[in-house]
Structure formats: C-alpha cells, structure tokens
Chain A
C-alpha cells in the first residue's frame, strides 16, 4: 500500500493545498490591491510549477529541453497577448 503513495506526490499535494490557503489570505486579511495581486501571482505560478514538475514529469523525458522551450514560448505568447491587449485597450499610453 505504501508504495502506491510516493513521497514526492504526497508532498506536491500538500504543497498545492498550502498554496491555496496562502492565496485565500488576500480576501481574509486587509491588504493593498498591489500586495494582494502579488500574492496571487506568486501562488498561482508556484502551483503551476508544482503541477508541471512534480505531477507532469516535464523534466524526465529526453526531449526535456524542447519541452521547456515550447511551454515557456507559449507562456510568453500568452503574456504578450494579455499585457499587450491591456496596454492598448485599458491602461492607455501617457
């Protein structure tokens, strides 16, 4: 039974629950909007990393360099889409 629950996975699960609780702090405690946004950004990125590395085993295949490049490039395109659009449509240029 014990070999069905590898330590790495159990730790990963514990860590993701912990990160969810930390993220909840933004609505339980009074903090500035920037501070709250920062906490959410850090916890969400940490969650994504836990999933990618511990659960999806991104680093175990011999193609790992190409995989990291593909995922980072997709994230880059996504971030440019989001920030670029907000810049053009919401924040404006002064």
Chain B
C-alpha cells in the first residue's frame, strides 16, 4: 500500500481516495431519494382529508431547536475532522462525541414531535398529507438514527486502533454523511415547516 504523506490521512492511499469518491456517488443517490420523498410531499400536501393541515400541527419552537442542534452538530463534526487532520485524536473524539449527543437531542425532539402528532389524532393513516409528511421526516430521522450507531462504531475503532489511514478514512466518510443529513434537514425546515406555517 502506497502512502502519500503529503495528503491528509483519509486521502493518503489510492483505496482511500476511491472510497471517498464512491461515497460522494452514494450521496448523489441519496439526493434523488429525498427528492422523490419531497415530490410525494409537495403533491399530497393539500390532501388533508378530515385531518389537520401543516399550519395546524407544526410548532415552531421544537423545530427551531431541531434545526439549531443539527446545524451545531454539523459544525462540531467539521471541527472533529479538522482536529483529526492536525493529528489531535483526543479533540477529534471529543468533537465526535459532542456531535453524536447533539444528534441524540435532535432525535429526542423529533420523537416527541411524532408522539404529539399522534396524540392530536394526526397519525400516518389519517390523511395522504400526513402519510407523505411522516415518510419524509421518518426517512430523515432513520438516517440520523443509523448515523448515530455508525458514529459510535467509528469512535470505538478510533479509540482502540488510533488514527491511521483506515480509521481516518472511515471517520471522514462519516462526516460527509452527517453534513449531508444537515443539508436535507435544511430543506425540510424551509419547505415543509416554514412553508407550511405561512400558507
């Protein structure tokens, strides 16, 4: 294995470079996946049947907290990758742990939001609007949940094996995934919640 020490660890071998490249291709597929879910939501948005519409169930405060937690977690994982590049394993792990805790906070609020909807009688079976909404939010939430466990696994590997081309590559790819989830959330925040609250 040829290691190019002029590059950051995560890019240092041909295999590492290709893995990062491949992950970007996967993110391209994820963009299309979420685009189809947004399509369904925009199409069925007005089909509320006898159930509530967006303006009636959306609450701004928890949504703002979710946005703030996810934006901050995206920032802290960016700092984690930076710490990894300057070879500071301790700081890198600390930033990754903060990131995952913020992710858990986000999930907690989202689960509470779903429970509130169901208590208000807005279940996934109530109307086409709610089915589309919960599929979109649920798919994003599932990605965050999966990301949490993925992040924990990477932390365990970094703790036991240290920073080497393999673990650094895995951690960097995980950071791409986490940033991507934040991008998806921004679109949900803008075009589901804020747009739902104005119309």
Contact = CB atoms under 8 A, between A and B. Distances in A.
Interface of A is mostly: helix
Contacts of B31: 71, 74-75, 77-78
Contact of A61 (B21, B36, B74, B183): B21
Contact of A89 (B24, B35, B43, B182): B43
Contacts of B29: 74
Contacts of B42: 82, 85-86, 90
A61 B11 contact: yes
B75 A13 contact: yes
Interface residues of B, number: 50
B194 A56 contact: no
B189 A70 contact: no
A27 B189 contact: no
Contacts of B36: 78, 81
Contacts of A93: none
A66 to B, nearest CB: 7
B38 interface: yes
B179 interface: yes
B195 interface: yes
B190 A79 contact: no
B142 to A, nearest CB: 19
Contacts of B153: none
Contact of A48 (B25, B75, B78, B183): B183
Given A13-B71, A51-B179, A33 B38 contact: no
Contacts of A44: 186-187, 190-191
A55 B72 CA distance: 12
Contacts of B191: 40, 44
Interface in A1-55: 3-6, 9, 12-13, 16-17, 20, 23-24, 26-27, 33, 36-37, 40-41, 43-44, 47-48, 51-52, 54-55
Given A47-B186, A61-B11, A71-B31, A12 B75 contact: yes
Interface of A: 3-6, 9, 12-13, 16-17, 20, 23-24, 26-27, 33, 36-37, 40-41, 43-44, 47-48, 51-52, 54-56, 58, 61-63, 66-67, 70-71, 73-75, 77-79, 81-82, 85-86, 89-90
24 contacts: A3-B86, A6-B82, A9-B78, A13-B75, A16-B75, A20-B71, A20-B189, A24-B194, A26-B198, A27-B197, A33-B198, A33-B199, A36-B195, A40-B194, A44-B186, A47-B183, A51-B74, A52-B183, A56-B180, A66-B21, A70-B25, A73-B28, A78-B36, A85-B43
